[in-house]
Every structure is written in structure tokens, then in C-alpha cells.
Amino acid sequence: MDKITERLAEIVGKDYVSTSAEERFIYSRDQGVQQPHMPDYVVLPDNARQVQEIIHLANNDSIPVVPMGGGLVLSGLTIPLAGGIVLDMKRMNRILEVNESSHYAVVEAGTSQGMLDAYLKKHHPRLKHSLPDAPPAATIAGNIAIHGSGHLSQSEGGFHSEMVTGLEVVLGSGEMVKLGSCSTVPGWFSRAPLPDLAGLFLGWNGTTGVITKVGIKLFPRPRFHDVLIYMTEDIDIAPDILFRIIETEVAEDINYALSPKPDYLNGFQMIVINLVANTEIELNMKKKIIRDALYDYYKTKESGFMPLPPAMKGDFLEAPQKALSKFADVKKGGGFEYVGAIMPVEKIPDACREGVRITDRYGITYSLGARIIGRGHSAMFFFAYPFNRADTQDIEKVSHALEDTNAAALKLGGIPWKTEVSGQKLILEQMEPQTSSLMMKIKSLLDPNGIMNPGNWEVK
């Protein structure tokens, strides 16, 4: 055992440090198409104090540190590009507090989405949090650190990073800080009215510090739930249809999707509208409001609502949805990649066309779509491309498509989300120089030795 390993073992216990080929192999890659890179150590801390000690050690010995939650980003953000330590946070999964009246939960950073959901269902059945489309093993902290979004992002105020009510963070320099109301008073209820320092860790892909605790907003969990699906062949009417649905203010979640598979849906766009209510009367009223909002469209019979017998609604009412993980098996190959791009809503038709063009270029298949964020303030557009993990050519095609898509998303006026290093470079190149310069100044302040997830958000 080398000295570093020994010291890491002293901090977290020897069972929770590995330098074995097996762990180094698994932690060197994610499920996407980015090139693997081996860590030297995989470390599983149990608490924030241990995280702090590890960061101190890493600073002393100039060892890179890559924090990891569920490890499900697909864009390589937890691949240790410069080796060093991968800090798998999932042992830190305690749910510390739920405040029903003030609608927030405080959880350790490794708490999974599924675990919080199950905990709330059991102990606070009137409350829920916004679940991303990621599998339930994804973590709360990992998701907010990349500006994730989810099934309440349309109705409840936007990206999950906007639902953060407070953070505890170990900076790249090793200090442990609390951000938000919890820095001053006991409650974790808000980031205001203090300067909003939480933003220094949201969207930074772990390059400024390690999030160890998160305060996250909770929302009512109404008893009734239903779904409507609107079907059209005309891409260009999508923004107006979406506008009309948003305008009703009664849709919990609004998703737009276009996929060539199965055959009978090829060329048809589906707008999936999820509704919740506290009573059946309210639910029926909401359905009527949405339908009435689209009357001008469906009366022409050019588009309309799909009849959905209850038995067929199951998948659409599920959160998180298994169907999205199943997309990985479309090419019978256990993989898909996607560019998520945060876009203006009006760009959805153009983004769809661009996605189809790119996939035509590489002869690959796709699933395109968008979730409306924050009552129409933007859309989280996704260009998803399944691939066969056993077929290197397929992987290469998808890698190229991914690069083209990042460029196309920027050109369309959107911003690639939690994008891989090549996409980050494209963004930084296009960014106002003063902005990127400020980013670098902040980063060097928080992570003076450049140990935090090196390779990410760097201008070279």
C-alpha cells in the first residue's frame, strides 16, 4: 500500500479505499462514449469531515479529486481526466431533516433520488420533490450540481439548481462552508436575502468544491394524477401548442417528444401533459381546461388528443420512468448518449430538424424532445442517440453526432447542458471573454491548486 492509500485509509477506513484494477476500471468510464481515464484511488467518504480531510490531503500532494454522485451524467464529468481520486459520495446518504411547513428537506450529498422519494412517501406523504428523468440511483447533489431538471421543473420554478435552499460545501481549498439561510440561522429554508453564493457550485461540475449537504425544496403531492397526450404531425405548431398549454397554468409537467421508433410514431410528435389535483373534480376540470385551450387545433382534425385507456397510461405516470433507461437498449447494445440543451422554447422546431439532419448524416437513430422549464421560460431539449456498446463504429458515429449536436445547439441559440469537455470548450469559446475570465478568477479562488475535477471548465 502506498503512502497516499494509507492516509486515505486512515481517513475513511481501509474498506472504503480502493486502488484495485477492478474499481479503477469501473470508475474510469461512464455509460456514454467519452474515452476512459483511470483514477489512482477510489474513495468512499462517510461524512463531511472526512471529505475535508481528503481535500486537505489532495491539496498537500497535488492530487486531483473528482466528486461523483450517481455517476450517470453520460458526458464523462466524473471521469478523472488527470487521474487522482474519485470521491464516490453515495455512503453519505442520510436524510437529515424534512421541514413540512417550510417545504424543504436537508440531505447528505449521496442521497439518491429514489431514496428521498421513498422516504417522503412513507414519512411525509403530502410532499414530494422534483424527480429527474435519470434512474432512481442518481443523487440529489449530483443532479443539482449540473443544473438538472425534472418532473416539477415546468410547474414549480425551473431547474433543480433553482430549488436548492442551502448547501454545505467543502471548497477546493479545504474550507467547509454553509451557504444560504443555514449559514446564519438554523433553518435551511432559503438562499435569500444573502448574497447567492450557492451558485458558485451549481453548474460547475465539481470544479469548485465538493457538495456535502443539500437543502432542497419540497412541493405538495396531490392525490390524483393523470396524463393527456396531444399528437401532431406539424413541427411548426409545437411552440404555439406549448404556449397554449402553459398559459392554462394547470399542467404539472409538459414534455414534447419525437422519435422514429416505434414505426407507428415515426413523424408524429407527442406532447405529454401531466396533471395533478387534490380532488377528482379538480382533475377533470384541469383536463377540460387543457382540452379547451387546444380546441382551435383539434377541431380541424389535423392534430388531436390520443385516447388513452387507463392501462396505457402507466408509463407516463411513472416518475422516474423506466422507459427512459430502456432507450439504452434500442440498438440492443446497452447505451445511449445525448446532448441536453437548454433552449429558447421557440427553437424547438429547428432543433428537431437539426437533430434529424445530424442523425441522417451519421446513419444513426434518435429520440428528440424537450421538457418545458419554469412555465415556458426555456426548454430542456434533448437529442438522444442510442448505440451498441459492442460496436466501435456505432460508438464513433454517435461521438461525432454528439460533437455536431453541441455545435448545432449553440448555433441555434441554446446552451449544451452538463456537456462533456469538448462541449465546454465550445461554450467557453463563444462566451464573453470577461465572463469566462471571471469564471476562472472565481475558480482559482475556490480551488487555488487546481485539484478539483481538472480538465473541466478550463480555458486552455
Partner 1 sequence: MDSEYTDIIHRCFRCGWCKLPTTYQDFNCPAYLKYRFESFASGGRMWLIRAWINGEIEASERFNQILFSCVTCRNCVEACALPKIKDKLVDIFIAARQDLVDQGNIPPAVRDYLKAMTVNGNPYKMPQEQRGAWAEGLNIDRYEDQEYLFYAGDVGSYDELGMKMARSTARLLKSAGLSFGILAEEETSDGNDVRAAGEKGLADYLAQTNIETFNNKGVKKIITLSPHGYNAFRNEYPALGGQFEVYHYTQVLNSFLGDKIHTGRYEKKVAYHDPCYLGRWNQEYFAPRRILGSIPGLKLAEMDRNMNNALCCGGGGGNFFTDILGTGPDLSSRARVREALSTGAEVIAVACPQCYKMLDDAVKDEGVQDRIRVSDIAGIILESGMK
Partner 2 sequence: MHELKFDPEICKSCTSCDCIMKCQYIDLESDQAKSEHAKLVAGEDSSILHDCVTCYACEEYCPFGNHPFYLIVERQEQRGVHPAPKPLEESQVIMMGPKGRIKPKELSPPVMNMCFFTVMNGGIRGSLFEGVSKFGGSDVFCNLMFLHFARNSTIRQRLPLMIENIMKNFLEPAGAKELICYHDECYGTYTSWAPAFGIDVPFKPVHLFDFIYNRLVELKENIKPLGIKVAYQRPCSNRLCPQTDHFVDDIFSLIGAERPKREFEYENALCCGGVPEAQQRFELTEEIQHKNVEDMKASGAAYCVFNCPFCFWTLSEPVLKAGLIPIMMSDLCLMALGE
Give residues in contact with partner 2 (CB under 8 A).
231-233, 262-266, 268, 287-288, 291, 298-299, 301-307, 309-312
Q: What is the dihedral of CA 89, 93, 98, 102, to 10 degrees?
A: 10
The rounded Cα 157 to chain-centroid distance in angstroms is 15
Per-residue b or e along 311-332, where b marks 16 or more CB atoms closer than 10 Å to that residue's CB? eeeeebeebbbeebeebbebbe
Considering only 390, 411, 433, 448, the residue that binds partner 1 (CB under 8 A) is 390
Query: In angstroms, what is the minimal distance from the CB of 398 to partner 1?
Result: 14
Verify binding: residue 117, partner 1, rule CB under 8 A. yes
The rounded distance, in Å, linking the Cα atoms of 216 and 355 is 34
How far apart are alpha carbons 16 and 29 in whole angstroms? Answer: 19
CA-CA distance, 422 to 424, in Å (whole number)?
5
C-alpha cell at position 133: 428523468
Least distance between partner 1 and beta carbon 36 (Å): 10
- Quote the least distance from Cβ 460 to partner 1, whole Å: 30
Give the span between the Cα atoms of 115 and 136, in whole angstroms: 8
Size of the site for partner 1 (CB under 8 A): 43
User: Nearer to partner 2 by C-beta: 304 or 376?
Assistant: 304
| Residue 71 contact among partner 2, partner 1, none, beta carbon within 5 to 8 Å by kind | partner 1
Closest CA to 339 of 408, 395, 256: 408
221: contact with partner 1 by CB under 8 A: no
Q: Taking the complex as a whole, how short is the minimal distance between the CB of residue 316 and partner 2, in angstroms? A: 15
Residue 132 in contact with residue 255, Cβ under 8 Å? no
What is the spatial distance between Cα 381 and Cα 238, in angstroms, rounded to a whole number? 13
Burial code (b: 16+ CB inside 10 Å, e: under 16) for 362-378 equals bebbbbbbbbbbbbbeb
φ, ψ (nearest 5 deg) of residue 51: -60, -45
Task: List the single partner that 115 binds among partner 2, partner 1, none, CB under 5 to 8 Å by kind.
Answer: partner 1
Is residue 70 within the footprint of partner 1 (CB under 8 A)? Answer: yes
Residue 301 contact partner, candidates partner 1, partner 2, none, CB within 5 to 8 A by sort of partner: partner 2
Identify what 314 binds: partner 1, partner 2, none; CB under 5 to 8 Å per kind. Answer: none
* Residue 118 interface partner, choices partner 2, partner 1, none, CB cut-off 5-8 Å depending on type: partner 1
- Within residues 10-39, the interface with partner 1 by CB under 8 A covers 15-16, 18, 20-23, 25-27, 31
User: Which option in partner 1, partner 2, none does residue 307 bind, with CB closer than 5 to 8 A by kind?
Assistant: partner 2
**Quick one: DSSP state of residue 5?**
H
Q: How far apart are CA 88 and CA 357, in angstroms?
A: 38
Copy the grid coordinates of residue 193. Answer: 436575502
Given the complex with partner 2, which of 288 and 361 has the nearer CB atom? Answer: 288
Site for partner 1 in 128-167 (CB under 8 A): 135-138
Question: Of partner 1, partner 2, none, which one does residue 460 interact with (CB within 5 to 8 Å by kind)?
Answer: none
Note whether 41 and 18 are within 8 A (CB). Answer: yes
CB of 83 or CB of 114, closer to partner 1: 114
- Single out the segment in contact with partner 1 by CB under 8 A; choices: 2-10, 116-124, 267-275, 339-347: 116-124
Report the C-alpha gap between 261 and 281 in whole angstroms: 36
Pick between residue 68 and residue 144 the one whose CB is nearest to partner 1.
68
Our CB check for partner 1 shows the closer of 94 and 425 to be: 94
Residues that bind partner 1 (CB under 8 A): 15-16, 18, 20-23, 25-27, 31, 42, 44, 70-72, 88, 90-91, 112, 114-115, 117-119, 122, 135-138, 322, 325-326, 328-329, 332-336, 388-390
